[in-house]
Structure 1
Amino acid sequence: MISFTELGKGSELTVHKNVTGKQVPQGIPLTIGAGETVTVTQALGDTLTLDIGSRLVRIETEDLENLGVEAPEQLGTNQALSLENQVWNVLKQSYDPEIPVNIVELGLIYDLRVSTLIDGRTHVHIDMTLTAPGCGMGPIMARDIQEKINALPEVDQADIQMVFDPPWDASRMTEEARLEAGLF
């Protein structure tokens, strides 16, 4: 098994067992057969983006073993931080599958609210956009983020709302993100 942290852009892997990922940006399933050789284009957060014959495919953490890759250690949350800061840290570990920049630095998070409901439960609401409104990866990314936030001990319910007004543009990216994406 190869450690996730050893992978980088251009690393080649041979698929150990059939694995199904999501084509980027369509978000539709694609099965990669055992024995196929694939190239890593991105190994960030806890997912891989692979190049398979000029098609990009995102592989989830739970499927890494089929590629002979050890899943990365789950990042612990610092309980000393406020819940809002814990949520921001989760978001900073979520990456666009095509752009090697986390979704916070990309400027995809428009709003984050933590509130206590009448019954005392804690609710997290996030307004999020996409770099392209028709991106099929949006629902997949939103589901992943929602699951990670719901896993925080203090969170009872999280919801992610996709918003497209105002439309996203590169001016929302941090300077570091623009440098990483080659926009300077």
Structure 2
Amino acid sequence: MDKQLSANEQAVMTALKKVIDPELGIDLVNLGLIYGVDVDDDGNCIVTMTLTTMGCPISDVLYAMIKKAVLGTPQIETCKINLVWEPAWTPDKMSRFARIALGVRF
């Protein structure tokens, strides 16, 4: 995510840091699965994200957790998830924290 985030977008990102992948035990932001957050002036939020693999068995669980976190953020009225496969997720997208926690060499 290269763009400057608005206060509402920063609040959504903070909320997403509390969404923990149940299989890996690390939040989605540190895993590098969140590619972008856009919030318009009416509080409509679009979360652009990917998954570690196509056909992820817990995708429905993750979507529900994301929507709950985002809609619990003040000023946010709606949440849509834009699932993308490009660029493809790789362990290089993980933060240093996530790599250390998961024992990934870097």
Query: Is TM-score (shorter-chain normalized) higher than 0.5?
Result: yes
Aligned counterparts, 1:150-161, within 5 A: 150-161=71-82
Give the aligned partner of residue 112 of structure 1: 37
CA contact (8 A) 2:33 2:50 kept: yes
Compute the TM-score of the two structures, normalised by the length of structure 2: 0.86
CA contact (8 A) 1:115 1:123 kept: yes
5+ long unaligned stretches in structure 2: 1-5
Distance 2:86 2:59 in 1: 15
Task: Give the structure with the larger strand fraction.
Answer: 1
Structure showing greater relative contact order (alpha-carbon pairs closer than 8 Å, 6 or more residues apart): 2
Letter in 2 for 1:140: V
Give the aligned partner of residue 22 of structure 1: none
Letter in 2 for 1:126: V
CA contact (8 A) 1:149 1:155 kept: yes
The percentage of aligned residue pairs carrying the same residue is 30
How many residues were matched structurally?
Answer: 100
Cα displacement (A) at 1:133: 1.2
Task: Give the structure with the larger helix fraction.
Answer: 2
Distance 2:96 2:77 in 1: 34
Compute the TM-score of the two structures, normalised by the length of structure 1: 0.51
Cα displacement (A) at 1:87: 0.6
